[in-house]
Amino acid sequence: MKHFTSANDIESAPSLVEEGLILKADPHQSKIGTNKTLGLIFFNPSLRTRLSTQKAAFNLGMNVIVMNIGKDGWNIEFEDGAVMNGATQEHIKDGVAVISEYVDILGVRTFPELKSKEKDYSEQVLNKFKEYSSVPVISLESATLHPLQSLADLITIEQHLIKRPKVVLTWAPHPKALPQAVPNSFLEWIKLTDADVTMTCPEGYELAEEFTEGVPIVNDQNEAFADADFIYAKNWSSYTHYGQVLDVREDWTITQEKMRLTNRGKFMHCLPIRRNVVATDDVIDNSIVYQQAKNRECAAQVVLKKILEANG
Ligand code: AN0
Ligand code: CP
């Protein structure tokens, strides 16, 4: 594996899940990262990704340097050929080239602006990191994907040992416009398993076809919940009416009553979660969300280990 920015970068999801679980059982078995450095660059906030990826790197013997570039760095220019006589002081080309002189693997978190579909889905920032970095790049959530989260989610589902689980991805309410990265990525990865996956969302919240292809979309949330083994909830802004929060008449908050329609289904969410908006307290408090968060560590660890193995 060179970079890790989507499911296209891996050979086999089931074997990555299996290796992740082996590392989870014995996190200190390999110190392949000794004398290597991981750089983590954040344009946006993070709790889990930042801490779990650092912990994973420490488990492998790596050193870690972290920078909140949006807050602590110079203003970055992203346009090629820009005449930089305005507010930006450092070109992305120079910044990334320099950071990659200090590290052996470079992680980046960059959210979409949710203004232009074309711009966000072209993954401008992530691709510039890939272009200008002299070392492998891992996504810590990009404009349209969150592969480390999805790998942790697959590991979590696998731990429940349900054959051909029925997995339902459900849209849930939220006051602010959020990216489509988590649900896009979840669909991309869950399709690589034997799970029977359904998506439920209000009309207007369908995701890009490249992700929903082959996935039944049901607009009635209660109907979709019937017999589900896992309910994966997430809010996202509209893809069709790009970046907008649409008026939704029905109540899409996940409640205990809705969870009772499932096959004693487990509630999943990537966190952070707005309690009693996305899901009620009792749903969250009886869920597997902390197990998911814990699995971010072994997911990051298996990815770092694979990259170190492949790149010497
Ligand atoms: C982000 C999102 O929806 O993509 C990060 C989730 C891991 N969530 C928020 O901004 C609340
Ligand atoms: N789930 C997740 O990526 O959380 P953070 O945004 O806190 O890293």
pLDDT, tens digit, 9 for 90 and up, residues 261-299:
999 999 999 999 999 999 999 999 999 999 999 999 999
Ligand 1: residue of 146, 178, 245 to mutate (most ligand atoms within 8 A of CB) is 178
pLDDT at site 99: 98
DSSP string, the chain: ---BSSGGG-S-HHHHHHHHHHHHH-TTS--TTTT-EEEEEESS--SHHHHHHHHHHHHTT-EEEEEEHHHHSPPEE-STT----SS--EEHHHHHHHHHHH-SEEEEE----SS-HHHHHTTHHHHHHHHH-SS-EEESS-SS--HHHHHHHHHHHHHTT-SS-EEEEEE---SS---SHHHHHHHHHHTTSS-EEEEE--TT----HHHHTT--EES-HHHHHTT-SEEEEE----TTTTT------S---B-HHHHTTSSSPEEE--S---BTTTB-HHHHHTSSHHHHHHHHHHHHHHHHHHHHHHH-
Identify the bridge partners of residue 24 per DSSP, sorted by sequence position: none
Task: Round the average pLDDT of the chain to a whole number and report it.
Answer: 98
Average pLDDT of the segment spanning 60-68: 98
pLDDT at site 295: 99
Report whether residue 216 contacts ligand 1, using a CB cutoff of 6 Å: no
pLDDT at site 175: 96
pLDDT at site 112: 98
Q: Is pLDDT at 46 greater than 90 in this prediction?
A: yes
pLDDT at site 92: 97
Categorize the per-residue pLDDT at 44 as very low, low, confident or very high, splitting at 50, 70 and 90.
Answer: very high
Domains of the chain: 7-146+296-311 (3.40.50.1370), 147-292 (3.40.50.1370)
Average pLDDT of the segment spanning 86-101: 98
Report whether residue 172 contacts ligand 1, using a CB cutoff of 6 Å: no
pLDDT at site 34: 98
Percentage of the chain exceeding pLDDT 70: 100
Distance 134 CA to ligand 1 centre (A): 29
CA distance 44 to 272: 14
Q: Is pLDDT at 52 greater than 80 in this prediction?
A: yes
Identify the bridge partners of residue 91 per DSSP, sorted by sequence position: 77
pLDDT digit string (tens) for 141-176?
999 999 999 999 999 999 999 999 999 999 999 999
Contact by Cβ (8 Å): 307, 1: yes
Average pLDDT of the segment spanning 72-85: 96
Average pLDDT of the segment spanning 121-136: 98
pLDDT at site 126: 98
Q: Is pLDDT at 312 greater than 80 in this prediction?
A: no
Predicted TM-score (pTM) of the model is 0.98
Name the closest-CA residue to atom 9, ligand 1: 178
Report whether residue 21 contacts ligand 2, using a CB cutoff of 6 Å: no
pLDDT at site 180: 99
pLDDT at site 225: 98
pLDDT at site 30: 98
pLDDT at site 167: 98
Average pLDDT of the segment spanning 81-89: 97
